[in-house]
């Protein structure tokens, strides 16, 4: 998967749409960036922009936006209801897909350093990117706002992390950081009572409610020795919540901000609201997602509800997502389209992918007069089918009547198989891409000695890639044998032949991919660098035949016993 980062800069301009447009234009000028949302606020005089892309692209787009904002927004004349201390007030980076928080922090600090050095804007790193604990809090960094910034920066305690330790009168300062994904999420109730909705919200939100004597609503507020109200904390960490009535729908909702879904997930919040609502005789009828959501959050929700039902989680992602949507009631108020609401799906490039073809289209494309897809892609596809058959037997066994005591074991087998067949499907495309890269390398000019060297190096690099991809196909297809063998021995006996066919597919994939390695290796100059791959590939090709025959023996033995 591609590494994907979300960026949510807040600019201190919410009234002049021409200025906002100029800022978003430079964001969109970076290739590969997708602008998801632009939300200007007149009263706050602030615009929140959301865009996503690969890390380097996001850092470049964020820098261009901060630069443009510094040219267009003069903080000396800015007024608005929202706290702020700079033209680009805050700019968080959020890990979305296949990237760790630690990596995201490095990109945030890289951006902060560039902004400070190139634009002479003081920058404070906050949240996970903070260099010291007191700067983790955005509120601490921004305390005193723009008006107090000049005096604040004179103290040793509040020197900026990057940029000049001198007050920038026009642009102010910026807070750049890394944080977890924030989800705005509403839970629907079968009541119109805002009081009851608020009561549930106070139960679950981290801030909880003020402690009172006697009646929890009208009783006297209990204070500590300093006269500060004592609070009863709510049940969920990193959660803000309030109850309100939505006239459009005619119902009350719990409006929730999940500020860190690694601490409290969507499904955990939903279930907790259900429990607290039930205590008050209220029923949750569904929920509503505001904006977009990472794929993993939806998969985690679907798996959670499947496991509560003692159902296998080794099923295709689209089925897991369907369970999540139905379990959370995300389609109660409006249709929920995963392609438009899940970030990774929204960004997905589906042009010319083999795995998006129907089975008949794949066959026809293979049969055409184009050399790709060829044997390598077909080997990967056949390997995926073998792993899928093993996964199918595991899923059928997990759901078989009378086998409820071992559903979890077979769910784990199915999940292993799913990981393998999904990667093999991607390798079907990567093998074709590798072949095309070799062809492109051969087309490079070769007039001068420099061009000849560049062309030779490109051919060798592309060829090595074309060796490594089928080797990965061999490894994965062989690894699927573990699942297939287990299903032949202990799986649903009615599906034993499916395990047998799966073994044949896996064996074919291993041997087919090996042929690809041999043909590509024959034209590779640096044999020493691929000696280990060639040795391991030869061993896998030998082992897979023995293992396949053993599985076939198990299958035939069970068939003969009938």
CA distance 92 to 94: 6
CB 194 within 8 A of CB 243: yes
Lowest mean per-residue pLDDT among 313-317, 408-412, 416-420, 529-533:
529-533
Strand partners for 154: none
From 156, 178, 200, give the residue that closes a domain: 178
CA distance 435 to 459: 11
Are residues 286 and 426 both part of a single domain?
A: no
Given the residues 161, 203, 431, 498, the one annotated as active site: 431
Is residue 189 scored above 70 in pLDDT? yes
561 pLDDT tier (thresholds 50, 70, 90): low
Are residues 358 and 334 both part of a single domain?
A: no
Are residues 435 and 331 both part of a single domain?
A: no
- Stronger pLDDT, 523 or 284, i.e. the higher one: 284
Looking at the structure of the chain, the number of domains it has is 3
Are residues 398 and 286 both part of a single domain?
A: no
Are residues 23 and 169 both part of a single domain?
A: yes
CA 166 from chain centre, in angstroms, equals 39
Strand partners for 90: 10, 175
Report pLDDT digits (tens) over 532-558: 999 999 999 999 999 999 999 999 998
Q: Is 82 a catalytic residue?
A: yes
Are residues 330 and 363 both part of a single domain?
A: no
Q: Is 431 a catalytic residue?
A: yes
Are residues 258 and 391 both part of a single domain?
A: no
CA-closest candidate to residue 527, choices 451, 467, 440: 467
Is 350 exposed, middle or buried (CB count within 10 Å of its CB: 0-12, 13-18, 19+)? exposed
What's the CATH number where 361 sits?
1.20.120.680
Are residues 84 and 194 both part of a single domain?
A: no
From 317, 347, 377, give the residue that closes a domain: 347
Report pLDDT digits (tens) over 216-244: 667 788 887 888 888 889 999 999 999 98
562 pLDDT tier (thresholds 50, 70, 90): low
What's the CATH number where 250 sits?
3.30.70.670
What's the CATH number where 141 sits?
3.30.990.10
Are residues 217 and 160 both part of a single domain?
A: no
Across residues 402-422, what is the average pLDDT? 91
- Stronger pLDDT, 511 or 227, i.e. the higher one: 511
Tokens of 52: 């996503």
CA distance 102 to 111: 15
Is residue 48 scored above 60 in pLDDT? yes
From 347, 366, 385, give the residue that closes a domain: 347
Are residues 305 and 367 both part of a single domain?
A: no
Strand partners for 175: 90, 124
Rounded alpha-carbon distances, angstroms, from residue 457 to 375, 454, 466, 512, 527 = 25, 5, 14, 27, 14
CA distance 27 to 58: 9
Across residues 51-61, what is the average pLDDT? 96
Is residue 402 scored above 90 in pLDDT? no
Report pLDDT digits (tens) over 233-277: 999 999 999 998 988 889 999 989 898 898 999 999 999 999 999
pLDDT at position 424, please?
96
Lowest mean per-residue pLDDT among 12-26, 360-374, 420-434, 506-520:
360-374
Given the residues 16, 82, 271, 317, the one annotated as active site: 82
Rounded (10°) angle between helices 449-490 and 496-521 = 160
49 pLDDT tier (thresholds 50, 70, 90): very high
Is residue 403 scored above 90 in pLDDT? no
Is residue 480 scored above 90 in pLDDT? yes
0.85 surpassed by pTM:
no
Report pLDDT digits (tens) over 83-131: 899 999 999 999 998 999 999 999 999 999 999 999 999 999 999 999 9
527 pLDDT tier (thresholds 50, 70, 90): confident
453 pLDDT tier (thresholds 50, 70, 90): very high
pLDDT at position 101, please?
95
pLDDT at position 513, please?
96
Are residues 396 and 380 both part of a single domain?
A: yes
Is residue 341 scored above 60 in pLDDT? yes
pLDDT at position 351, please?
65
Are residues 173 and 279 both part of a single domain?
A: no
Average pLDDT along the chain: 92
DSSP-assigned letters across all residues of 401-431: TT-GGGHHHHHHHHHHHHHHHHHHHHHHHHH
- Kindly give, in sequence order, each residue whose CB lies less than 8 Å from that of residue 479, ignoring residues fewer than 6 positions away: 420
Task: For 542-561, give one letter per residue: b (16+ CB within 10 A) or e.
Answer: eebeebbeebbebbeebeee
pLDDT at position 340, please?
87
pLDDT at position 10, please?
94
**Residue 267, domain extent:** 183-347
- Kindly give, in sequence order, each residue whose CB lies less than 8 Å from that of residue 163, ignoring residues fewer than 6 positions away: 115, 116, 117, 119, 120, 121, 122, 123, 173
Is residue 475 scored above 80 in pLDDT? yes
- SS3 of residue 155 by DSSP: coil
DSSP-assigned letters across all residues of 259-302: S-TTTS-HHHHHHHHHHHHHHTT--EEEEEEES-B-HHHHHHHH
365 pLDDT tier (thresholds 50, 70, 90): confident
């Amino acid at each position: 998967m591609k590494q994907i980062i979300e960026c949510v800069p807040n600019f201190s301009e919410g009234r002049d749409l021409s200025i906002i447009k100029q800022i978003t234009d430079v964001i969109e000028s970076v290739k590969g960036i997708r602008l998801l949302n632009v939300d200007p606020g007149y009263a706050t005089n602030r615009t929140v922009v959301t865009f996503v892309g690969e890390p380097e692209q996001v850092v470049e787009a964020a820098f261009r936006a901060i630069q443009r904002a510094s040219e267009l927004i003069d903080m000396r004349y800015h007024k608005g209801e929202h706290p702020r201390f700079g033209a680009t007030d805050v700019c968080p980076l959020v890990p979305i897909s296949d990237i760790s928080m630690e990596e995201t922090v490095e990109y945030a600090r890289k951006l902060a350093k560039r902004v400070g050095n190139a634009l002479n804007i003081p920058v404070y790193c906050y949240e996970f990117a903070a260099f010291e604990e007191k700067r983790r809090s955005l509120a601490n960094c921004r305390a005193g706002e723009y008006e107090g910034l000049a005096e604040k920066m004179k103290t040793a305690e509040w020197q900026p992390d990057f940029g000049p330790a001198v007050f920038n009168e026009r642009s102010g300062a910026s807070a750049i950081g890394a944080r977890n994904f924030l989800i705005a999420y509403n839970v629907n109730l079968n009541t119109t009572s805002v009081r009851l909705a608020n009561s549930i919200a106070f139960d679950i939100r981290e801030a909880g409610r003020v402690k009172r004597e006697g009646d929890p609503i009208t009783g006297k507020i209990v204070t500590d020795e300093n006269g500060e109200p004592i609070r009863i904390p709510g049940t969920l960490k990193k959660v803000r919540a309030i109850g309100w009535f939505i006239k459009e729908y005619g119902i009350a909702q719990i409006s929730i901000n999940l500020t860190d879904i690694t601490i409290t997930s969507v499904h955990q919040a939903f279930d907790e609201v259900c429990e607290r609502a039930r205590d008050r005789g209220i029923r949750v009828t569904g929920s509503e997602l505001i904006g977009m959501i990472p794929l993993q959050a939806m998969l985690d929700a679907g798996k959670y509800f499947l496991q509560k039902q003692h159902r296998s989680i080794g099923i295709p992602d689209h089925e897991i997502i369907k369970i999540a949507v139905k379990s959370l009631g995300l389609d109660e108020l409006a249709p929920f389209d995963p392609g438009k609401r899940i970030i990774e799906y929204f960004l997905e490039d589906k042009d010319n992918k083999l795995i998006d073809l129907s089975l008949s289209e794949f066959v026809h494309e293979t049969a055409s007069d184009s050399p790709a897809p060829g044997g390598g892609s077909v080997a990967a596809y056949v390997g995926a089918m073998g792993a899928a058959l093993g996964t199918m037997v595991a899923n059928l066994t997990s759901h078989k009547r009378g086998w409820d005591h071992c559903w979890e074991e077979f769910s784990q087998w199915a999940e292993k198989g799913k990981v393998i067949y999904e990667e093999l499907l991607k390798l079907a495309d990567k093998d074709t891409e590798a072949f095309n890269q070799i062809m492109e390398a051969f087309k490079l000019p070769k007039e001068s000695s420099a061009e000849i060297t560049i062309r030779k190096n490109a051919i060798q690099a592309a060829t090595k890639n074309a060796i490594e991809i089928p080797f990965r196909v061999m490894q994965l297809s062989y690894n699927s044998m573990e699942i297939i063998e287990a299903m032949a021995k202990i799986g649903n006996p009615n599906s034993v032949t499916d395990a047998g066919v799966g073994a044949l597919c896996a064996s074919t994939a291993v041997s087919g991919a090996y042929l690809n390695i041999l043909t590509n290796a024959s034209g590779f100059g640096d044999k020493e660098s691929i000696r280990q791959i060639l040795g391991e590939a030869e061993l896998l090709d030998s082992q897979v035949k023995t293992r396949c025959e053993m599985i076939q023996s198990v299958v035939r033995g069970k068939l003969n016993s009938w």
